[in-house]
Amino acid sequence: QVQLQESGPGLVKPSQTLSLTCTVSGGSIGNPDYYWSWVRQLPGKGLQWIGYINYSGKTYYNPSLKSRLSIPVDTSKNQFSLTVSSVTAADTAVYYCVRGGYDLGMDSWGQGILVTVSS
Amino acid sequence: QSVLTQPPSASATPGQRVTISCSGSSSNIGSNYVFWYQQLPGTAPKVLIYRNNRRPSGVPDRFSGSKSGTSASLAISGLRSEDEADYYCAAWDDSLSGHWVFGGGTKVTVL
């Protein structure tokens, strides 16, 4: 059974870059049946999709965040990452890394990591 | 402001049926599958319904999904206390090069 685990700093200063990594175990990130996504949840709010990368490196991003986003993948480590540049307090959220199936939906989620943007 | 519109809350007594609506547009629900996610307090979401009306293994048949045009709905029959959670609909949106969109979520309370 695939498992995903987020890692990275829990505190980022305003205007800096937020960087998170998701380590995937129990499944290959190169599997063409899946894509690898980031979803965030602002405090007390709903879910916001951030973006995803697929096995071939193709990326799709939330249009409202696209200019600040990057989702690179490291197949040798079975990891994918998220960078968000020029963060503000509005980027404070729990960030989830997620495996998605094109027909099955986002079927495996990490436990989530709280990232606070504050000086 | 979410692209998909859900009621913020719904409630019913144990054993009753509750229905949650999800309204979208031709670029998302109207042309793509709808998915439903359940988020229990303090946990990550899990997929409840995929491809409009299919249940992953392990999801009770008390949960059912449907879609018509640019709207979808999730029904929970025989409501149980452990169903108290937040529920989100989601669909792929073909506009702006394509992206996933979520509903704002519906908090289901078991009275």
State the smallest CA–CA distance between residue B36 and chain A in angstroms: 9
**C-alpha distance from residue B51 to each of A39, A96, B48, B54 (Å):** 20, 22, 10, 6
Cα separation of A54 and A59, whole Å? 7
Chain A partners within 8 Å of B94 (Cβ): none
Give the DSSP letter of residue A90. Answer: G
Q: Which residues pair with B87 in a beta bridge?
A: B38, B106
Q: Are B36 and B53 in contact (CB under 8 A)?
A: no
Q: How far apart are CA B101 and CA B70, in angstroms?
A: 14
For residue A30 the two structure tokens come to: 């190169």
Q: What percentage of residues in chain B have a pLDDT greater than 90?
A: 97
pLDDT digits over A55-100, tens only? Answer: 899 999 999 999 999 999 999 999 999 999 999 999 999 999 999 9
Closest residue of chain B to A49, computed from CA coordinates: B100
CA distance B44 to B52: 21
Report the pLDDT value the prediction gives residue B2, as an integer from 0 to 100: 87
Q: Tell me which chain B residues have a C-beta less than 8 angstroms from the C-beta of A114.
A: none
pLDDT at position A13 is: 98
Give the single-character DSSP code of A64: T
In a 13 Å sphere around the CA of A105, the CA atoms on its Cβ side amount to: 26
Question: Which among A49, A62, A111 has CB closest to B44?
Answer: A111
Residue of chain A whose Cα is closest to the Cα of B91? A105
Q: Establish how many alpha carbons lie within 13 A of residue A37's alpha carbon, considering only the half-sphere containing its beta carbon.
A: 25
The pLDDT value recorded for residue A57 is 92
Determine whether the interchain pair A47/B33 forms a contact, defined as Cβ–Cβ distance below 8 Å: no
Q: What is the pLDDT of residues B51-92, one digit of tens each?
A: 999 999 999 999 999 999 999 999 999 999 999 999 999 999
Chain A interface mutation, best of B38, B46, B47, highest count of A Cβ atoms under 10 Å: B47
Distance from CA of A102 to the nearest CA of B (A): 10
Beta strands in A31-92 (DSSP E): 34-41, 47-54, 59-61, 69-70, 73-74, 79-84
Query: Across the interface, which of A48, A51, A63 has its CB nearest the CB of B102?
Result: A48
* Residue with token string 């990275």: A8
Closest Cα to residue B105, out of A42, A45, A95? A45
pLDDT at position B55: 97
- Rounded (5°) CA angle B93-B94-B98: 85
Q: Which residue from A49, A96, A105 is facing B99, i.e. has the nearest CB?
A: A49
Per-chain mean pLDDT for chain B = 97
Whether B46 and B31 have beta carbons less than 8 Å apart is answered as no
Residue of B47, B88, B98 with shortest CB distance to A47: B88
Q: For B83, list phi and psi in degrees, rounded to 5.
A: -85, -5
Which residue does chain B place closest to A37, by CA atoms?
B100
Place of tokens 């729990």: A94
What percent of chain B clears pLDDT 70, i.e. is strictly above it?
100
Is the torsion defined by CA of B69, B107, B49, B61 positive or negative? Answer: negative
Interior/surface letters A62-71, b for 16+ CB within 10 angstroms, e for the rest: beebbebbbb
| pLDDT tier for residue B100 given thresholds of 50, 70 and 90 | very high
Residue A103 has pLDDT above 90, yes or no: no
